[in-house]
């Protein structure tokens, strides 16, 4: 890969929940690529795929991505196979393929199909791409036993036909470069990027405008905890009790607690989407006959049978977002003959995510230690990503660094913006990872 000449570049933030693309234009404000989606034109492209059977298509399967995938799924949920957050398995040695009707797709094949549709829906804006493309990557990948080398191998295959020259840069470094473009004086900057699958942190020394080398990365750290984990906490503590978790069933002359294994997959959207199979439904029907509260198990069966995982998690996401601005919220979910609700307070939510917040704090400590800096040496803290809006997350940084040092903005677009700027730099090798 050539790294010795600056020029036009594309920055691609391939995110767990959303993806964003920006094209450099020689100014501090790269152009965001917009997509004329079914509901609204936006620079945010949902990281999702939907497949359905179609005999008129070669191979018998057609597909869509982004907002169009959501629209196809909502039009025909029982005849579609909807996949989102597939980035979370990029580094998983346990993931070999996703079964979609009669076909199996490896990670890189899912990724290639996603990119194909992202390009086609850009309305020609991506038909002629710059030779240099900068791809964001997490500092630490999501999942247990995450294998970074495996993720790189899969990314390389996914992006093999996307551009001639591909570079990977830590996602928070992209956000750092974006924020640095606003600064008018030198500063030591901590960037905290909260995505769907990972929370990543970088410390960067920013020189004065016009300096030969504006930004120097000092350290990076990350943890596989972010928005999806916070959603799963709401599912575990608020939703699953409505579906039978913690309940009892009869086994001969004993009453036993329903095994947790029946509910494990509900806390992981990608696994919930696979529960609609005959074996699982037969096991749930057997459990319903033995349960002391068969209606609760019936609600779980209805969600699985009617492919209601996506709207269920959308309802969970609405609760999480509401608790960012309100002290309490109502979880409400209706569909497939169901109408369930429950109240939750922000204090309860913060108690549920407290262990996750503690691990995030430890990750910030790690970034500071790697840079050999104390909190007092940080001049600015830039918070980005959707989960940075959660009060418990913001409070962690305010208490540590002070309100006056905290900045935020561009929660969904700052990474792509910064990646495009990095792509213009002569010293891109200093940023690549």
Would you say residue 25 lies in a domain?
yes
Give the torsion sign (CA, 384, 389, 395, 399): positive
Q: Per the domain annotation, does 180 fall within a domain?
A: yes
Structure tokens at 378: 């940080």
User: Looking at the domain assignment, is residue 392 inside a domain?
Assistant: no
Within a domain: 4? no
Whether 332 is in a domain gets the answer: no
Paired sense of beta strands 406-408 and 380-384, if any: parallel
Q: What is the rounded CA–CA span in Å between residue 345 and residue 230?
A: 14
Q: In this structure, is residue 217 part of a structural domain?
A: no
pLDDT at residue 6, rounded to an integer: 61
- For residue 384, the Cα-to-chain-centroid distance in whole angstroms is 13
Q: How far apart are CA 96 and CA 414, in angstroms?
A: 32
The SS3 assignment for 98 reads strand
What was the pLDDT predicted at 212? 79
DSSP type of residue 59: T
Phi, psi (5° rounding) for residue 382?
-110, 120
What is the CATH number for 82? 3.30.420.40
Residue 330: alpha-carbon gap to chain centroid: 24
For the chain, the residue count is 433
Q: Which helix (DSSP H) or strand (DSSP E) does residue 162 occupy?
A: none
Q: What is the pTM of this model?
A: 0.89
Longest dimension (CA), the chain: 79
pLDDT at 269 (0 to 100):
66
Residue ranges making up the domain that contains 168: 9-184+412-430
Task: Tally the domains of the chain.
Answer: 1
**pLDDT score, position 2:** 35
Per-residue pLDDT of the chain (433 residues; tens, 9 = 90+): 333 446 789 999 999 999 999 999 988 889 999 999 888 899 999 999 999 999 898 889 999 999 999 999 999 988 888 998 899 999 999 999 988 888 999 999 999 999 999 999 999 999 999 989 999 999 999 888 899 999 999 999 999 999 989 999 999 999 999 999 889 999 999 999 999 999 999 999 999 988 878 889 999 999 999 999 999 999 999 999 999 999 999 999 899 999 988 888 877 766 777 787 889 999 999 999 999 999 999 999 999 888 888 899 899 999 999 999 999 999 999 988 889 999 999 999 999 999 999 999 999 999 999 999 999 999 999 999 889 999 999 999 999 999 999 998 888 899 999 999 999 888 788 788 8
Please list, in sequence order, all residues whose beta carbon lies within 8 angstroms of the beta carbon of residue 272, skipping any fewer than 6 positions away.
265, 266, 304, 309, 312
φ and ψ of 197, to 5 deg: -110, -25
3 state DSSP class of 14: strand
**Nearest-angstrom CA–CA distance, 165 and 161:** 10
Q: Answer yes or no: is 319 within a domain.
A: no
Residue 239 lies in a domain: no
């Amino acid at each position: 890969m050539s790294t010795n000449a600056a020029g036009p570049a594309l920055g691609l933030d391939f995110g767990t929940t959303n993806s964003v693309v920006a094209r450099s234009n020689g100014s501090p404000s790269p152009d965001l690529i917009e997509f004329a989606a079914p509901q609204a034109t936006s620079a945010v492209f949902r990281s999702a795929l939907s497949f359905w059977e179609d005999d008129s298509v070669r191979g018998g399967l057609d597909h869509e991505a982004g907002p169009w995938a959501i629209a196809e799924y909502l039009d025909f949920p029982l005849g579609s196979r909807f996949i989102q957050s597939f980035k979370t398995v990029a580094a998983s040695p346990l993931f070999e393929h996703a079964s979609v009707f009669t076909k199996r797709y490896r990670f890189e094949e899912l990724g290639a199909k996603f990119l194909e549709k992202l390009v086609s829906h850009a309305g020609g804006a991506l038909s002629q791409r710059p030779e240099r493309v900068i791809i964001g990557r997490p500092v630490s990948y999501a999942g247990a036993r995450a294998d970074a080398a495996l993720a790189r191998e899969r990314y390389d295959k996914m992006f093999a036909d996307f551009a001639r020259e591909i570079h990977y840069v830590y996602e928070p470094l992209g956000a750092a470069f974006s924020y640095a473009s606003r600064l008018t004086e030198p500063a030591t900057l901590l960037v905290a990027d909260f995505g769907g699958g990972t929370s990543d942190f970088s410390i960067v020394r920013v020189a004065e405008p016009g300096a030969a080398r504006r930004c120097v990365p000092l350290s990076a750290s990350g943890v596989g905890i972010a928005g999806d984990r916070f959603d799963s906490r709401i599912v575990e503590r608020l939703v699953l009790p409505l579906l039978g978790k913690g309940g009892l069933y009869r086994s001969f002359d004993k009453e036993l607690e329903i095994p947790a294994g029946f509910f494990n997959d509900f806390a992981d959207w990608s696994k919930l989407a696979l529960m609609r199979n005959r074996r699982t439904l037969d096991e749930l029907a057997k459990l319903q006959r033995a349960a002391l509260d068969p209606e609760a198990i019936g609600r779980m069966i209805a969600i699985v049978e009617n492919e209601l995982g996506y709207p269920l998690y959308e309802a969970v996401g609405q609760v999480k977002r509401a608790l960012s601005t309100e002290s309490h919220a109502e979880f409400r979910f209706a569909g497939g003959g169901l109408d369930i609700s429950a109240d939750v307070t922000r204090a309860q939510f913060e108690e549920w995510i407290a262990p996750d917040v503690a691990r995030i704090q430890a990750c910030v400590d790690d970034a500071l230690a790697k840079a050999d800096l104390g909190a007092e040496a940080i001049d600015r803290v830039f918070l980005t990503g959707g989960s940075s809006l959660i009060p418990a997350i913001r409070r962690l940084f305010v208490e540590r660094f002070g309100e006056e040092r905290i900045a935020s903005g561009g929660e969904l677009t700052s990474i792509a913006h910064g990646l495009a700027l990095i792509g213009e730099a002569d010293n891109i090798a200093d940023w690549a990872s």
